[in-house]
Chain A
Amino acid sequence: MKAEGWLWAGGAAYYVVLGLIYLGVGGEPAGLALVFIAAAFGGLVAGWIWGARRHDGAPRPKDRADADAPDQVGVVGVYPTASLRPLALGTGMTAVVLGVPIGSWMTIGGLAIVASQVALLVRDLDR
C-alpha cells in the first residue's frame, strides 16, 4: 500500500501547490474551493491508506516484487451469485430523481424501492 499512499499524497500535495499559485494570481473563489477540496480529498484517502498500512504491518504479496501465487493461498474473496437487487435498486434511484420534475408520487415510490432493496442487500450480506 506504500505506493498507493504516495500516489494519493502526491495528488493532495499537487492541489495544495496549485491552489496557492491560483490564489497568488488572483483566482476566483469557486476554482479555489474546488482545488482545495481536491487536495483534502486526496489527503483523506492517503491518510486512510497510511493508517491501513500501519495496521497491516508486513507488505502484502501484491506489493512484494518477489511474491508469487503460492504466497497467497486460501480464500481470495467471497463473491455474490446472481442478484436482482442492483437492477431493482437502480430502478428505484431513477424513480427518486425522475420524480423531481415529474411528480412527488414517483419520488415516494422510488424511495420505497430503494429502502426495500437496501434492506435486502444488507440481509444478503449478513448471510
Chain B
Amino acid sequence: MTTVAPDPRLVTVDEVLAARPHHPGGLPATLVGWLTTTDHKAIGVAYAVTSMLFLAVGGLLAGLIRVELARPGLQLVDEATYNSLFTIHGSVMVFLFAVPFGFALANYLVPLQIGAPDLAFPRLNALSYWLYLLGGLVMLGGFLTDGGAAGFGWFAYPPLSGPQGSPGLGADLWIVAILLTGTSGTLGAVNVVATVSTMRAPGMTLFRMPILTWNLLLTSFMILLVFPVLSGAMIMLEADRQFGTHFFDPTAGGSPILFQHLFWFFGHPEVYIIALPFFGVVSEIFPVFARRPIFGYRGLVLATLAITALSTSVWAHHMFVTDQVVLPFFAATSFLIAVPTGVKVFNWVATMWTGRLRFEVPMLFGLGFLVTFVGGGLTGVMLASPSLDFHLSDTYFVVAHFHYVMGGTVVFALFAAIYFWWPKVTGRMLSRTLGTIHFGLLFVGFQMTFFVMHALGRDGMPRRVADYAEVDGFAGMNMIATVGSGVLFVSMVPFGMAIVTSLRQAPTNDADPWAANSLEWAASSPPAHHNFDWLPPIRSERPVFDVRWINHDDIAAPGVAAAWNARRNKDPHWSPIPGNGAAGGDGDGDGDGGGRR
C-alpha cells in the first residue's frame, strides 16, 4: 500500500462538526427506554442484536444437524427431532435472522443516508420490531410443546403440514410465527417506502441515493408484493388445520400444488429480499476501500430493478419436479435473472479493477461475499435447467447452492456491514487483527462445510435425512463438513473478542473514520437525536466525499462549491467551511479522485 502525505486542503467531517453546536445522541440507557423507544437507531440496533441472537440459535441447531450427520447411524437425536432441527434451523435463518438483519440496516441507515430525522412512522416501526421478536419466540416455543417443534421443512408443504401430517401444536406455532413475522416485514416495508419517497433531504434525488438505500427500497417493494401472499397461504393452511377447510387437502378436492405456487411466489423473491440489502452493503464498501466511485451507478440501479422484476417471475422453478408447471417459461426467466446479477458482479469487479485497494476488515468480508456469491450464482444457473434439476432436486447439491447464496452471501456481507458501520453506531473501532482472524476462520470454515455438499448431492445424498448407510460412501465428505462447521463456530470467538474489547475502550467519536462517501458519515458518531446537526449540499451520490474534496473543484461534484457560496450568501451560519470553492488539483497529481485523508 502506498503511503500518501495528507493534503492540507482536504476537509474532514470532524472539522465541520467541531464548528457547530452538537446535540447529544446515543442509545437508550435503561430497560424501560428500550421497551418504549421509537427512535430508528435504537430499533435498528435492537433488530441487529436480536437477529444475531437468532443466528446463534440457528447456528446451534445447524451444529446439532452436522454432528448427527458426521457418521453413519443415529447417534444424537431420533428422526422426529432431526426433522424439527432442520425445520426450525431453516426457518430461524430465513425468517428470524437474514430478513430482519436487512431491516436492521434499513432502520439504522436509510434515514441517515437520505438526510431524514427518522423513519416516516416511528411507532409503526417499533410495532414491527415487537411483532418480529414475539413471532420468533412463538416459533421457538414449539420445542416446548408435547409433539415438539414443526418438522415439515421451512416451506411447509401440505399435506405433510396439514392436520393429519403434523397434528401437534408445534406446527401451529410455526404458522402463527410466520404470520407475525410476515406482518412485521410488511409494516417495515411500508415504512421504508414512505420514508424514501417523502423524507429525502433537499437535493437528494432518487438517482443520488446510495445504492444501499436503493436496494432497501426495492427490497421493500418486493416485500409488499409477496409477504401478503405468504400470509394468505398461512391463513389458508391454519384454516385447514383448525377450521376443517380443504384448501390444500387433495382428498377433498383441495390442491397442495396451489400451496406450492403461493409459497414460492413468496419464496423465490425471498432469496432476493434477503440478498439485495447485502448487495447494497458491498456496493457501499467496495468504492470506499477501492478509493474509486462505484462503477456504473445507474447500471447497478437498473440491474437491481431488473432483479426485482424478474425475481417475481421465476417462482415455479422450485416446482420443476411436480410436472405441473410450464418448464420453458420458468427455465427462461430463471436464466434471464443471471444477466442483471452478472451486471452487478461486473460492476463490483470494475470498481476495484483500477482502484487502490485497502484491505481493511470490511473489504475482506466484502471480497469473501463476492467469491461465495459467484459460487452460489453459478450453481443457480445449473439448477435453472430442468434436465439438471430433475437429477439434483432434493439432494445436498441444492443445500450447497442455497447455503452459498443465502448463507455465505448474507453472513460475509453482514460482517462486512458490522465492521464498516460499527464506528458510526458506537463511536469506536473494531480490532483489525481480530477481524482479520475472524474473516480467515469464517472463510475456511464456510468452504469446508458447504463445498463438499455439492459432491454429496451429485452422488445422490438426499437432503433432510437423519442417517445414511456406510456403503453409501457419504461418510468422508460428511465428516469434512462437520469439521468445517466446527471451524465456523470457532470463528465467532475472535468476533466476540473484538466486540468486547471495542466496547471497553474509550470512544474516538470519529465521524468519518473510513473516508467514506454517503451521508451517514456527515453525522456525528454516534449520531445525534434526530440525526443531523448539519447537512452538506447534495450534488452527487457521494455528498461526504464532496465535502472532503470541496477545495478541489475538479474532484468534488459540479455545483458543490456554488451551493456552499449560495449558503454563505443567505446565511453565514450555513457555511462552516472557510475558503471553500478554491480551484486546484488534488495536490498529489494521481488523479484518483479517491477519498484518502
Contacts and interface: CB of A to CB of B under 8 A. Distances in A.
Contacts of A108: none
B202 A86 contact: no
A18 interface: yes
Given A82-B37, A90-B130, A94-B134, A68 B205 contact: no
Contact of A41 (B123, B131, B225, B313): B225
Interface string B191-213: 00000010111111111100000
Most buried by A among B116, B169, B206: B206
Interface string B535-561: 101110000000000000000000100
B328 interface: yes
A119 interface: no
Contacts of B197: 1, 4, 49
B146 interface: no
A60 B325 CA distance: 47
A98 B126 CA distance: 20
Contacts of B571: 70
A97 to B, nearest CB: 5
A31 B202 contact: no
A69 B183 contact: no
B224 interface: yes
Given A62-B200, A62-B202, A100-B242, A87 B261 contact: no
A26 interface: yes
B530 A79 contact: yes
A98 B329 contact: no
A126 interface: no
Interface residues of A, number: 56
A83 to B, nearest CB: 6
Interface string A49-83: 10000000000011111111111100011011111
B240 interface: no
B36 A84 contact: yes
B36 A62 contact: no
A90 B123 contact: no
Interface in A23-42: 25-28, 30-31, 34-35, 38, 41
A113 interface: no
A14 B493 CA distance: 47
Interface in B111-145: 116-118, 122-127, 129-131, 134-135, 138
Contacts of A22: 313, 326, 329
Contact of B261 (A31, A91, A94, A98): A31
Given A31-B315, A31-B316, A25 B203 contact: no
Nearest to B326: A25
Given A18-B313, A83-B126, A97 B180 contact: yes
Contacts of B180: 93-94, 97
B478 interface: no
Contact of B201 (A10, A28, A62, A66): A62
Contacts of A35: 312-313
Contact of A93 (B123, B131, B204, B309): B131
B297 interface: no
A64 B328 CA distance: 45
Contact of B238 (A18, A81, A94, A100): A100
A125 to B, nearest CB: 9
A70 B567 contact: yes
A7 B196 CA distance: 13
B288 interface: no
Interface string B505-531: 000000000000000000000000010
A101 B122 contact: no
Contact of A94 (B135, B172, B208, B241): B135
Contacts of A70: 566-567, 570-571, 574
Interface string B25-38: 00000000101111
A67 B203 contact: yes
A28 to B, nearest CB: 7
A121 interface: yes
Contact of B535 (A34, A69, A100, A102): A69
A72 B38 contact: no
Most buried by B among A63, A64, A70: A70
B324 interface: yes
Most buried by B among A21, A68, A98: A68
Given A31-B316, A34-B265, A97 B574 contact: no
A89 interface: yes
A44 B506 CA distance: 52
B349 interface: no
B332 to A, nearest CB: 10
A3 B205 contact: yes
A2 to B, nearest CB: 9
B134 A82 contact: no
Given A94-B131, A94-B134, A65 B123 contact: no
Contacts of B199: 62, 76-77
Most buried by B among A3, A30, A61, A63: A30
B47 to A, nearest CB: 14
Given A61-B202, A67-B203, A27 B169 contact: no
24 contacts: A11-B221, A18-B309, A22-B313, A25-B326, A28-B325, A31-B316, A34-B261, A34-B262, A41-B225, A62-B199, A62-B201, A64-B202, A65-B203, A65-B205, A67-B203, A68-B566, A69-B203, A69-B535, A79-B117, A82-B33, A86-B127, A86-B130, A93-B183, A100-B238
Which 4 pairs of residues, A with B, have the shortest CB-CB distance? A90-B130, A101-B172, A86-B126, A61-B202
Interface of B: 33, 35-38, 116-118, 122-127, 129-131, 134-135, 138, 169, 172-173, 176, 179-180, 183, 197, 199-208, 221, 224-225, 229, 238, 241-242, 258, 261-262, 265, 305, 309, 312-313, 315-316, 324-326, 328-329, 530, 535, 537-539, 559, 563, 566-567, 570-571, 574
Given A62-B205, A90-B130, A91-B130, 13 more contacts: A1-B197, A4-B197, A28-B261, A31-B315, A34-B265, A41-B225, A64-B205, A77-B117, A86-B124, A86-B129, A93-B183, A94-B131, A94-B138
